[in-house]
Structure formats: C-alpha cells, structure tokens
C-alpha cells in the first residue's frame, strides 16, 4: 500500500534541499517500488505568507494524516520582526508539540571520506558515531510562565521557565536507553544539576530508569563540560540524552565534527514511532536560492524516515550507501572541504539519486 509522505519545504534553502530529497524518494519509487505518495504544504514563513499562520490548520491536518513528514527548514530575516506568535520558528515548535514528537534523534556520524573536512584533527573524529537524544516538546522552550513584563521601576524584564515533569524525563530516558541497547550500550545524561532543580529531578529519574536497562552503562555530565568534551574527545560518547535547549546547542556542536552542519539528519518521534524528519540545520538565508546548500542532511533524514516510520530499512541502507558513494567520488558542496568535484545542491541530489 502506498505510504503518504507530507513534504514541508519551509523557507530559505528549505525548498531547494527538499526538492533533492524528493528526487531521491522518486528514484526509490521508480527503481524499487517503495511506493511513497508525496504531497506538499506550507509551514514557517511560507505558512504565514499563504495563510497568515506559521502552522496553517490545513498543514497540521495533512501532517496528522500522513505516514511521515519531511521538513526542510523555517525562518528568515524577512520574518524576524513579526510578532513572536506568528514567527516561522513558532510553526516548527507547534507541529512538534501538536504531533507529540518528544523524542529527537540526532546522529552525528563521520563519513570516512570527510575525515579531513572536520574542523578537528582526523584522529579525533575518525570513526565518530554518536547519537544525541534530545527532548523536544518540553523544557524552557515550552515552560510557563514566559513573556516580557514591565517592572515597577519601568524597566522591562524577559522571562522563561525551565520545567520537566517526571513522565517527560522518563519517556526520553527510555528512548535513549533502548537506543543504547542497539549500539555500544552507553548513555551519558547531560544536565546542569549543580545549579538547576529541573536538572536535579532529571538526574534522579534517569537513574531510576537505568535500573530497567542493566545492560546499559549510565554516566552523567554537566552541560558545560559536555560541550568541552565534545570537541576534546568526541568518541568517548555513544548515546547522549539531554533536554531541549542543551540538545539544540550540543547537536550543532556535534554537527561540525562531521565536517559540516549540512551533514546532520534528525528524526522527531512520537510515542508510537510516527515521525517528522528534518535536517538539524536551519534555513541558511545567507546561501538561499544560490544552489549552494548541501542537501545531504535532508537526504539522510529521508533514510531515517524510511527506517523508522516506513519499515523500509533496505531502502534506507541504499540511500546511506549512495551518499557514501558520491562522497567517495569526490563530490562536495561548498560547505564541505576536500574532494575534487565541486557541485551545487541539485547536482549533489542528482548524483545520490543516480547511485541508489
């Protein structure tokens, strides 16, 4: 039976990179009968332009109906002056929250062909394979109260609240431990328990959950040290589990280990394994519309979608192998150092589709 994929290109480089992901899905359909039916809807700034909302009702309806969602990126300078509740980023936060996508898997894997492209020495990153499990629908991103208030003195004050309930911590911890069981069996929980009560509870709950996974070794690390360790000796990590804000920051940091933020895919999953798939990077307004964006993070997000939501592990393997093959041939978008064949977004996408 055909599976319904909703494409949400979004803003900036979003339309360019999702077009290449679509090309890859169409090639899989044609060659291997994967059977994906694709539909497109606006989100982010494009949603605001089309329907006055960063997450139009119709887009959310289609997302609920789809078997999986693939998103490009949202945001751009032309939208930065809008009221906060209609800003593009709100559309992304809203779809994550509405669909209950609490579990964000962000694998940082170094393709051996890119060992020289990392900002770090080759021996520090060679063989890197870490999985950041980021809590995605809680923490300071969603905590109440929040806002900007005027104090008696007349001065204004911005405020946000970091909150985590036990059930929220427990389910993200279970996701991380289950993932570690399929990997090297190590979870490092990252928090700021030396300062924050929300982290104190986080640590306690993660400890409790660990008892159900005797085959997995648990360690804890403060987030400031974790940021340092990620660039000092990243291969010490297997699975990193952390809250929404820390996970956002650490995953961009991990991205650079792999050669470029243009290489990092992600899966955002609900309790039943339904998911939204998107690159970790943003809408890159500085290079939008110039055929410069690296489409591989989005194409690798397609692989995660095939594996986690569509039960098509073999097709996922094919996509990842095709990415390896084009890198091996020396194709590089401008964000990737090395290689011997500079290419644009489209040529990179065509090459991957051609190697499936």
Distance CA 220, CA 28 (A): 42
List 111, 141, 213, 277, catalytic entry? 141
Helix or strand or coil: residue 151?
Answer: coil
Q: How far is the CB of 205 from ligand NAD (least distance, A)?
A: 27
Tell me if 297 contacts ligand NAD by CB under 6 A.
yes
Nearest residue to 32 (alpha-carbon basis) of 310, 329, 273, 328: 310
Task: Answer yes or no whether residue 89 interacts with ligand IPM by CB under 6 A.
Answer: yes
Q: Is 49 annotated as a binding residue?
A: no
Q: Which is nearer to ligand IPM, 89 or 320 (CB)?
A: 89
Distance CA 179, CA 214 (A): 14
141 is catalytic: yes
Nearest CB to ligand IPM, comparing residues 76 and 339: 76
* Tokens of residue 171, six digits: 């389910």
The residue range among 122-130, 160-168, 207-215, 245-253 that interacts with Mn ion, by the rule CB under 5 A, is 245-253
Count residues near ligand IPM (CB under 6 A).
7
Cβ-proximal residues to 18 (8 Å cutoff; 6+ apart), any chain: 7, 8, 9, 10, 70, 71, 72, 298
Report H helices in 109-257: 122-125, 166-181, 197-210, 223-232, 244-257
Catalytic residue, from 191, 248, 308, 335: name it. 248
Nearer to ligand IPM, 234 or 279 (CB): 279
Q: Which of 118, 189, 251, 294 binds ligand NAD (CB under 6 A)?
A: 294
Strand partners, 105: 133, 267
Interface stretch with ligand IPM, choices 85-93, 208-216, 293-301, 326-334 (CB under 6 A): 85-93
Q: Which of 166, 197, 212, 286 is the binder for ligand NAD (CB under 6 A)?
A: 286
Q: Is 75 in the site for ligand NAD (CB under 6 A)?
A: yes
What Å distances lie between residue 188 and 51, 185, 206, 258, CA to CA?
A: 43, 10, 10, 20
Applying the rule CB under 6 A, the residues between 313 and 342 that interact with ligand NAD are 335
Strands in 68-73's sheet, in edge-to-edge order, are: 36-40, 3-10, 68-73, 275-279, 265-269, 103-109, 129-135, 239-242, 186-191, 217-222
Query: Considering the rule CB under 6 A, would residue 11 count as an interface residue with ligand IPM?
Result: no
Whether 49 is a known active-site residue: answer no
Supply the minimum distance, in Å, between the C-beta of residue 90 and ligand NAD.
Answer: 10
256 contact, one of Mn ion, ligand IPM, ligand NAD, none, CB 5-8 Å limit per kind: none
Q: Which of 119, 242, 228 is nearest to 191 (CA)?
A: 242
Answer yes or no: 192 catalytic. Answer: yes
Residue 145, preceding bond cis, omega within 30 degrees?
Answer: yes
- Rounded to whole angstroms, the Cα distance separating 306 from 25 reads 10
Which residues in 226-265 contact ligand IPM (CB under 6 A)? 248
**Helix residue ranges per DSSP H, 79-139:** 88-98, 122-125
Find out whether 318 and 356 touch, Cβ atoms under 8 Å.
yes
List binding-site positions.
76-89, 96, 106, 134, 224, 248, 252, 282-294
Q: Which residues are catalytic?
A: 141, 192, 224, 248, 252
- The contact set with ligand NAD (CB under 6 A) reads 13, 73-76, 89, 92, 261-262, 278, 281-287, 293-294, 297, 335
- The contact set with ligand IPM (CB under 6 A) reads 75, 89, 92-93, 248, 280, 282
């Amino acid at each position: 039976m055909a599976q319904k994929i909703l494409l949400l290109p979004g803003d900036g480089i979003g339309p360019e990179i999702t077009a290449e992901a679509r090309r890859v899905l169409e090639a899989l359909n044609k060659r291997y009968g994967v059977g994906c039916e694709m539909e497109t809807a606006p989100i982010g700034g494009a949603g605001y332009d089309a329907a006055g909302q960063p997450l139009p009702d119709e887009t959310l309806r289609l997302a609920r109906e789809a078997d999986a969602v693939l998103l490009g990126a949202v945001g751009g300078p032309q939208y930065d002056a809008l009221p906060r509740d209609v800003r593009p980023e709100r559309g992304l936060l809203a779809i994550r929250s509405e669909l209950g996508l609490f579990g964000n898997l962000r694998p940082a894997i170094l393709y051996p062909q890119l060992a020289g492209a990392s900002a770090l020495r080759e021996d520090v990153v060679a063989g890197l394979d870490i999985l950041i499990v980021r809590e995605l629908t809680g923490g300071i991103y969603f905590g109440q109260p929040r806002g900007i208030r005027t104090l008696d003195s007349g001065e204004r004050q911005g405020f946000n609240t970091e909150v985590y309930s036990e059930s929220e911590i427990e389910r993200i911890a279970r996701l991380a431990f289950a993932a570690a069981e399929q990997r090297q069996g190590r979870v490092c929980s990252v928090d700021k328990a030396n300062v924050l009560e929300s982290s104190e509870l986080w640590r306690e709950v993660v400890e409790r959950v660990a008892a159900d996974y005797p085959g997995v070794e648990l360690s804890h690390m403060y987030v400031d040290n974790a940021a340092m360790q990620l660039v000092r000796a990243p291969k010490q990590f297997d699975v990193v589990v952390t809250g929404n804000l820390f996970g956002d920051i650490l995953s961009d940091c991990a991205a650079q280990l792999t050669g470029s933020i243009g290489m990092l895919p992600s899966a955002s999953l609900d309790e039943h394994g339904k998911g939204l798939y998107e690159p970790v990077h943003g809408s890159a307004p500085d290079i939008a519309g110039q055929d410069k964006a690296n489409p591989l993070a989005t194409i690798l997000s397609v692989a995660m979608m095939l594996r986690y939501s569509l039960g098509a592990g073999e097709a996922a393997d094919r996509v990842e192998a095709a990415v390896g093959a084009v890198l091996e041939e020396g194709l590089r978008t401008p964000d990737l150092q090395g290689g011997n064949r500079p290419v644009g977004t489209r040529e990179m996408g065509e090459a991957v589709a051609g190697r499936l």
